[in-house]
A = this chain, B = another copy of it.
Amino acid sequence: MGGPLTGIRVIDLTWILSGPYTTMILCDLGAEVIKIERPGTGDIARGNRPFIDGVSSYFLSLNRRKKSVAINLASEEGKEIFLKLVETGNIVVENFVPGTMKKLGLNYEVLKERNPRIIYAAISGYGQNEPYALKSALDVIIQAAGGIMSITGEPGGPPVKPGASLGDIIAGLFTAISILTALEERHRSGEGQMIDISMLDCQVAVQENAFERYFATGEIPRPLGTRHPVFVPFQAFATKDGYIVVAIVGEQWPLFCAAIDRVDLIDDERFKDGYTRTQNYAILEPILTQVMKTRTTQEWAEIFESMEISCGPVNTIDKVVAHPQIQHRNMIIKVPHPKVGEVHLVNTPIKLLRTPSKISRPSPELGEHTEEVLRTLLGFREEEILRLKDAGIIQLVECHP
């Protein structure tokens, strides 16, 4: 299967979303990801709807290509198997409530004793330390706490959450960056280290511009529909039959005025640059929304494109799937799955041209790789594996597909 991270082994304790998103990225790039799951239930995301032929599409999407090893970490023998895996690995990732690993006796300090080169990444809502470490921190709680819901929505309207679980996913992205940075550092120092990622911190980091505007002006940023805070027009408009997004940059205002047949606006002092158009938006808005409703999306697109004014449609998800460039870049892939037949997945957007990777394996059954990993990686014999299974320390999949 290959990929640029071939040879990197990740011992993956993550569940639901933020952590699995991190390890999905590493796995997509060729790392070997050994997902440690609790016997019986596994990652609770296996129960998230909707299902395809009884398999969670949520789980399918996030866990493609990973190996599932089911171990009971509450048992002493289970802990020892985990520690042996840590000795063979490069990276451990977990997104438990802070303190969980310490309660299990498997915190970083313990792991480091067994493998000083291990890189240990912990993701949590608020970070590993007080005062907020133990507060419950699901995606929507963090998107609300971090401010993005206060700057998303219609002007004057209620708060709106961006339509993706960005509280989790953005933390997953920063965790991947952190892990790869620690790997790079380890080439020089020879040592691993602990990484402490807070979902709340990550929310603040991606809203840097809202914070900078607040620091610069003292004004609290508010929701703006589809508008940009300092460029106008730079938004979606309703047309005769739908919506169109238009973005005017630099010196294009006169061109735009010509396109909408309102050359009288060109010399209007109130609208001479992005700043004054933002200041006088209350006056400009009704003029623009009215004129934009006079033509269809297609008509406007032809006019704007002929003038090299940036514009585009507001695509629904089905339109994105069918988008010529998304197809061209192979962003929607099909992977065979023993139960589901073929599953559609979103491909990685990470295109390293000399070392491409291919997602050729679906998400695993619970415990699908327990036997393989214990046997080949840790050297356990058949009878030992059966004893551990009978003792409820590990779970195997009886019938391999």
A interface, CB within 8 angstroms of B: 4-5, 7-8, 25, 29, 44, 48-52, 57-58, 60-62, 126-127, 129-132, 135-141, 144-154, 157-166, 169-170, 173-174, 176-178, 180-185, 187-189, 191, 193-198, 200-202, 204-217, 220-221, 223-228, 230, 234-236, 238, 243, 245, 247, 249-250, 274-275, 308, 310-321, 323-326, 328-329, 331-332, 343-355
Contact = CB atoms under 8 A, between A and B. Distances in A.
A324 B130 CA distance: 10
Contacts of A274: 49
26 contacts: A5-B184, A29-B181, A57-B215, A57-B216, A61-B211, A140-B226, A144-B226, A144-B245, A144-B314, A145-B312, A145-B315, A148-B163, A148-B164, A150-B316, A158-B225, A158-B226, A158-B236, A161-B227, A162-B166, A170-B173, A181-B350, A182-B352, A193-B353, A194-B352, A202-B349, A204-B320
A139 B260 CA distance: 22
Given A163-B210, A325-B126, A193 B354 contact: yes
Nearest to A247: B138
Nearest to A153: B160
Contact of A209 (B58, B331, B354): B58
Contacts of A163: 148, 150-153, 207, 210, 221, 223-224
A230 B49 contact: yes
Contacts of A176: 177
A199 B277 CA distance: 27
- Among A57, A191, A228, A320, residue most surrounded by chain B Cβ atoms (within 10 Å): A320
Contact of A178 (B62, B312, B350): B350
Contacts of A140: 226, 228, 234-236, 245, 247
Given A163-B207, A166-B206, A349-B205, A325 B173 contact: no
Contact of A350 (B61, B177, B212, B355): B177
Nearest to A274: B49
Given A152-B163, A331-B204, A57 B213 contact: yes
A343 B225 CA distance: 29
Contacts of A328: 127, 129-132
- Oligomer: number of copies: 2
A306 to B, nearest CB: 13
Nearest to A235: B140
A163 to B, nearest CB: 3
Contact of A180 (B180, B197, B225): B180
B226 A147 contact: no
B184 A183 contact: yes
Given A230-B49, A234-B140, A214 B352 contact: no
B127 A164 contact: no
In the A-B complex, the 6 residue pairs with the closest CB atoms: A151-B163, A180-B180, A201-B349, A193-B354, A162-B162, A57-B216
A348 B175 CA distance: 12
B147 A320 contact: yes
Nearest to A196: B351
A128 B173 CA distance: 23
